[in-house]
Amino acid sequence: MPKKTNDIACSITEYLSGKQYDSGVRLLIEHSRDLLQPGRLAELKKLLAMIPREHFLRHPKLILIAANADYQSGELKSALRYLTTAIPVLKKARDRSSLSAAYRYLSYIHQDMGQNQKAISDSRQGLKYLEKNDYRGRAGLLAAMAGSYWRLLDYKKASKIYAQVMDIYIRAGDKEGQIRTLANSSAITKALGQLGKARKEKEEVLRFYRDSDNRRSYCLAAVNLSSLYLEMFELEKAEFLLTSAIPEIQKLGLGMALGPARVYLGEVQMHQGRFPEAEKTLKFALDKTDSADEASYHFSCLIALSTLYRLQGNLSLSLRYALESLERTSPERPLDTAQAHYNISRVYFAARDFAKTLHYAKRSSAAYARTGMAYRQSRALLNLAEIYLAHNKLPAFGQAFSQGLNICRKGNYDFFFNDRYPDSFWPLIPAYLKTNGSSKYLNKLVEIFDPSKTASNRSPADPRPAITTLGSLGILLDGQPVERWKRTASRQVLGILLSRHVSREADPHNDSEQFIPSEVLSLMLWPKKSLASASINLQVAVAELRRLLEPGLKGGKNSRPIEFRNGCYRIDIDNISLDFTDFVAAVRKGQQAEITGQPPAALEFYRQAVEIYRGDFLPDVKLIEMEGTRERLRQLYFQALLSLAGLYLKQNRLDDAVKYAALAVSRERCLEEAHRILLSAYHRMGRKELISKQFQICQTALRRDLGLDVSPETIALYKECSK
């Protein structure tokens, strides 16, 4: 018998190492639910590899466990082989429960491989073998079937089945099941172009899993929501979700989510105009996908690369990827076919091939019209309008544009006309207005997106403020420092208003209002004064702040940076240079480069971030409300330092690794990860005397500052380095 241990994997390993296979297999099956959790998949696979093949046939549930592990890891072909082996064995054993589960997994795999008819057939087979009281199994099989129907564009049937699934979970009082069903059904809401509703649904799902221990579902929810943000050109939100989720996805071994997450990140970078970064990210994603196993993600990556090269003017390469994407489509993935046709039309339009671009544009427009996908139909119609306008087909242009515009109005797809992003349809509006009457919706679009109005409302002679916040507060106008502060309160008001933007920079998904009620500001700054007196003080402080930022300002109502609306204040940072926005952007770009296999670029971005961070955020603004903001930026700074040190350690550039790890420890001596990097670096350098000293420093800091012992991970590394 193995010795007792809290870690069940160790017990299983001892059984298997001692060739007590039956005992090890029984224990593994008993604890399979725990071992199938994200983060333990690699550990589970090692255990499965220790078991001889004949034991899989004697214990067919092992085959299901192996298939599930491979499926979650994104290894679809391997999972498929396991299941096709398991089903005959399970039928022979008349194990109805396991058979039902096997068909459910098979349905998921065929669905991910784009074989939706097979997936539906699998689900039906699973329902035949289902135990009467297995509500979870029934809900899972029905949900898989609904997912395949909506991919085949049978939204009515899919919605009906999802309603059945939701009813099952409501009757069972299963809240997580209800949220999971909402996550699945929101795909239909999105496909039909109800983006606002889909956004609310997906954000509700994300909030639920963010507050739970289910990190696997949280990561999947984050990736799904980021794809919607991408569609709506809310790029900062999509970028934040992906940059924070991808490392966790990698850590959990969720290969099924990693492919699309990388593709979405590349698309975000592309739409932000960061073409070199986007190219590296998308090529890295393409190299990591299997064109057969991950058909949909491989297809999406091809489309994204085609779009990227078209925007860069490399039309031959763009067309190559566009045609390859068309070859990857199938009758069971009609949406992919329509998207491929749309993309090819854009490439031929750039190449000025009118006949071909019109051919593919009409096909994509007709496909979206048939499916009732309003969002994509509007884009296809605007694409047709652009083609007609370029070839002076004015009546056809007017008709297509009017139809597309009407759908945009109903669906609130204003972002199609945002001139900040590639492929904007803004130029169609002035052309349409020349020969057609205006409308309330057109006037709204002109007011929002007219480049002549949105580029900047300030005169070229106006000074552009630059504000430094990291280490100390400073204002520069045209490079000259402003030193005319009369009131501490003005500095504090500026700090509070800026802190709201720090929250948004560090987490764009945080929708907390940037407008702060004047009463709140007054009470924060003068808690002991009456509200009337504090309000007067606030008005004086704001007036001074406005004069500092806009020396020529004649009245507060005309102030651009400091807005006052409905009794609330806000600082508009669009025309202000801010060091903390540059810092956050550099850290984020470093993280993106690191998670997409670009160490040199990651090192450069992290170095930029460390150089920008000269100290804590506004340390001279002494308000307790600022501490959360300071800590968020401080943690980003430590992330940059630790990433630099870790990357240098991987490259065996030990002096640089020591430099940045030591800098991290000097700022926060309880950072165990920095201590571990130093231990590893000193070990490689052969500096044994420093290894012992560093461990003692770490141990003392943790005990003195936090009352904690050194973690087992650090102790194990210390023992290894001390040999």
Rounded Cα distance between 291 and 296, Å, is 8
**Could you give the residue ranges of the DSSP H alpha helices within 550-618?**
579-595, 599-612
Q: Is the pLDDT of residue 429 over 70?
A: yes
Kindly report which listed range (10-19, 486-495, 598-607, 630-639) carries the lowest average pLDDT score.
486-495
Residue after which a domain boundary falls, among 207, 225, 243: 225
- Please compute, for residue 481, the number of CA atoms within 13 A of its CA located in the half-sphere on the CB side: 6
- Are 496 and 556 in a shared domain? yes
Higher pLDDT, 515 or 2: 515
The span from the first CA to the last CA of the chain, in angstroms, equals 32
Higher pLDDT, 657 or 484: 657
Rounded Cα distance between 377 and 561, Å, is 39
Kindly report which listed range (152-161, 306-315, 637-646) carries the lowest average pLDDT score.
152-161
How confident is the model over 21-33, as pLDDT tens digits? 999 999 999 999 8
Q: 88 to each of 57, 84, 93, 94, 181, how far by Cα in Å?
A: 10, 7, 9, 10, 31
Find the CATH number of the domain harbouring 481. 1.10.10.10
Tell me whether residue 322 is in a domain.
Answer: no
Beta-strand relationship, 465-468 and 577-578: parallel
How confident is the model over 216-237, as pLDDT tens digits? 899 999 999 999 999 999 998 9
Q: How many separate helices (H) and strands (E) can be counted in the chain?
A: 36, 7
Rounded (10°) angle between helices 175-191 and 155-172: 160
Q: Residue 127 in contact with residue 91, Cβ under 8 Å?
A: no
- Are 443 and 499 in a shared domain? no
- Are 434 and 567 in a shared domain? no
Q: How many domains are there within the chain?
A: 4
Rounded Cα distance between 72 and 388, Å, is 47
Residue after which a domain boundary falls, among 387, 420, 454: 454
Q: Is the pLDDT of residue 264 over 80?
A: yes
How confident is the model over 577-595, as pLDDT tens digits? 889 989 999 999 999 999 8
Q: What is the pTM of this model?
A: 0.79
- Are 603 and 658 in a shared domain? no
At 463 the pLDDT is 57
Rounded (10°) angle between helices 21-30 and 8-17: 160
**Dihedral over alpha carbons 17, 18, 21, 25 (to 10 degrees):** -60
Q: What's 281's DSSP letter? A: H
Burial class (CB in 10 A: 0-12, 13-18, 19+), 686: exposed
Rounded Cα distance between 297 and 74, Å, is 11
At 455 the pLDDT is 46
Stretch 145-162: mean pLDDT, rounded? 92
Sheet holding 516-517, edge to edge: 516-517, 568-571, 562-565
Kindly report which listed range (33-42, 104-113, 183-192, 479-488) carries the lowest average pLDDT score.
479-488
Contacts of 81 (CB under 8 A, 6+ apart): none
Tell me whether residue 449 is in a domain.
Answer: yes
At 465 the pLDDT is 83
% the chain with pLDDT above 70: 93
At 314 the pLDDT is 96
Kindly report which listed range (82-86, 379-383, 559-563, 619-623) carries the lowest average pLDDT score.
559-563
Q: What's 626's DSSP letter? A: G
Structural domain containing residue 507 = 462-626
Stated as kind and residue range, the H or E segment containing 207 is helix 195-210
Phi-psi region of 20 (alpha: psi -120 to 50; beta: other; left: phi over 0): beta
- Are 494 and 570 in a shared domain? yes
Sign of the CA dihedral with 49 first, then 50, 52, and 57 last:
negative
Stated as kind and residue range, the H or E segment containing 563 is strand 562-565
What are the two backbone dihedrals, phi and then psi, of residue 516, each rounded to the nearest 5 degrees?
Answer: -115, 125
Rounded Cα distance between 350 and 622, Å, is 56
At 558 the pLDDT is 60
- Are 476 and 400 in a shared domain? no
- Are 474 and 447 in a shared domain? no
Find the CATH number of the domain harbouring 348. 1.25.40.10
* Other beta carbons within 10 Å of 40: 16
Tell me whether residue 279 is in a domain.
Answer: no
- Are 26 and 64 in a shared domain? yes
- Are 36 and 181 in a shared domain? yes
Higher pLDDT, 362 or 250: 362
At 41 the pLDDT is 84
Residue after which a domain boundary falls, among 454, 479, 500: 454
- Are 445 and 468 in a shared domain? no
- Are 610 and 676 in a shared domain? no
- Are 75 and 220 in a shared domain? yes
**Could you give the residue ranges of the DSSP H alpha helices within 372-481?**
374-390, 394-411, 428-435, 440-449, 451-454
